[in-house]
Amino acid sequence: MRLESNNLLIMTNSSVDDSDSFASLVILWQLRHGRHDLPWQNTRDAYRVWLSEIMLQQTQVRTVRPYYARFLDRFPDMQALAVAPLTSVLELWSGLGYYARARHLHHCAQTLVHNHAGRFPENLEEIAQLPGIGRSTAAAITVFAFGKRAAILDGNVKRVLVRCFAIEGQPSSARLERQLWELAESLLPDHDIESYSQGMMDLGATICTSRRPSCDLCPLHAICLARRHNRQAELPPPRQGKTLPQQRRQVLLLTDGRQVLLERRPPLGIWGGLLTLPEGVADDASHFAQRHGSELLSLGEVCTVRHDFSHFRLMIDILPCTVRVLGQAAGEDGWQWLACEQIANAALPTPIRKILFSHLSPPDQRMLNAK
């Protein structure tokens, strides 16, 4: 059978003998050479499958491993996550980035507890309607938790398909993505769906990498059109570089050397629900200090740090402010004096944590620096 769309001619696995089919090659390779020791494998627990899939979105396995372990230790099941305050969830997520994932994770757990007795529905379409879960993540839960046939199409899988079938165009485009979904579904085997799905992701992550793919180790090398025509570096095409728009923020770092004044952001936005340094200029420093039970002693030199997001560049101007805390708590909800030794575990955006570590040395870090 052949699939033809917009002059794209794709030969599916039913066009060759089953023993040599695309899916069979992937399955056999995964069983022999794929990854089998990831902490979220070898389980039918939909909660663990879901958690790993959300954490792995735009994040590498080696980064996710420790977060996954700490998260499960704190929230071992759906009920524990659903009843936890969002601030606790954000604290454990801090440093993993893309914080909307954590907020959606928490909302999804609450939705499942309230509407589905804490269990995932087994229907792909129902899963895809849950907060923070798209088509590919829903398919992964369907495959690995329930053993049902569904197509996964993450970035790694897209790259394997684009190269193997020499598909032209940018995979992120709506037109090409529709074609890739059609292709991915046409290639699904009738058996060993878990090994096939894991194999496709493993190939993209470890063999068919974006740079320097290990084509000689790939089970698809004999049928890969990109390899046949030496086009691995061209497919998929690199995204056109673009100049990131720039934003600038001025923040105040009010500290007595032992603690620092922080403000919790509103629940929505890039840093929604996280603790950050208050925005303001030098003229605001004395007011902030007095409002939160401290006295401004001196101002330091402004320094600037840069942090690049996926869609804009943020320049942060930091004004260090030395204060004397008068023993009173921060005067308003959403504000707090954070002890320096708590910086590592607080719900802080990565650039704010780096700023604090560069300006403040928690007691244990001072000891390390002294050695």
Q: DSSP letters along 72-123, please? A: HHH--SHHHHHHS-HHHHHHHHTTS--THHHHHHHHHHHHHHHHHTT---S-
Q: Choose among 358, 321, 369, 360: nearest CA to 342.
A: 360
| Secondary structure string (H, E, C) spanning 30-61 | HHHHCCCCCCCCCCCCHHHHHHHHHHCCCCCH
Report the distance separating Cα 47 and Cα 120, nearest Å. Answer: 8
- DSSP 8-state code for residue 344: G
Q: CA angle 124-130-133, nearest 5°?
A: 75
- DSSP 8-state code for residue 15: G
Given a contact cutoff of 8 angstroms between Cβ atoms, the answer to whether 129 and 190 are in contact is no
CB atoms within 10 A of CB 282: 12
- For 370, the token pair is 């002294």
Catalytic residue among 53, 185, 194, 332: 53
- Give how far Cα 239 sits from Cα of 20, 69, 203, 232, 233, Å: 34, 34, 21, 15, 13
Given a contact cutoff of 8 angstroms between Cβ atoms, the answer to whether 302 and 318 are in contact is yes
The yes-or-no answer on residue 182 being catalytic is no
The one-letter amino acid at 82: A
As annotated, the active-site residues are 53
